[in-house]
Amino acid sequence: MSVVRILLVEDFVPWHRVIRSLLQENAELQVIAEVTNGLEAVGKAIELQPDLVLLDIGLPGVNGIEVAHHITRVSPRSKILFLTEMDSRAVIQRAVRLGAHGYVLKSDAVRQLLPAVEAVMAGQQFIGPEFDANTDTGASTPRSKLV
């Protein structure tokens, strides 16, 4: 994996430090910008064309699902990995239908964030294992932590 340029979209600023700390475990992961709302995220995606967007769903103003929809249009090469507290199967299904490449709960970030980033950047879809094999996300590949 070459250097992965990451746009971090999270409204809770102290969480930025946690995410950065986790990502720094892999020297090939570089946070190129951090923003706290959806409008900033779309603007930075246009400007920077990141390889990966780590995106919360519960953002002020425009929610992360809508932000992902816009980013996929303005920065089509950017992969979207949701890192959120939202554990609803319906939300995951919608995220996947809109093109999300991965979905990790914040409560599992310590264990799952790096494997999710690696999977997504390798072209695989990653849905956290807490969503069992009966969760219909619309994914077409077999489940086992990687969807």
Q: Which CATH number covers residue 42?
A: 3.40.50.2300
Digit-coded pLDDT (tens) for 73-127: 999 999 999 999 998 889 999 998 888 999 999 999 999 999 999 999 999 999 9
Evaluate whether residue 44 is within a structural domain.
yes
Whether 109 contacts 119, CB under 8 Å: no
* Domain assignment of residue 88, yes or no: yes
pLDDT of residue 129: 78
Say yes or no to pLDDT of 134 above 60: no
Between residues 52 and 143, the one the model is more confident about: 52
Alpha-carbon distances of 89 from 48, 80, 81, 122, 127, rounded to whole Å: 31, 17, 16, 24, 11
Sequence-ordered list of residues with C-beta below 8 angstroms from that of 119, at least 6 positions apart, any chain: 102, 125, 126, 146
The range of the structural domain enclosing residue 76 comes to 4-127
Quote the tokens at residue 137: 């996300």
pTM of the model: 0.87
For residues 9 and 3, give the distance between their C-alpha atoms in angstroms, rounded to a whole number. Answer: 19
Confidence of residue 30 (pLDDT cuts 50, 70, 90): very high
29: phi then psi, degrees, rounded to nearest 5? -105, 125
> Is 145 part of any domain?
no
Q: What is the pLDDT of residues 38-85, one digit of tens each?
A: 999 999 999 999 999 999 999 998 999 999 999 999 999 999 999 999
What integer pLDDT is reported at residue 1 of this predicted model? 59
Q: Kindly state whether residue 142 falls inside one of the protein's structural domains.
A: no
Amino acid at 79: K
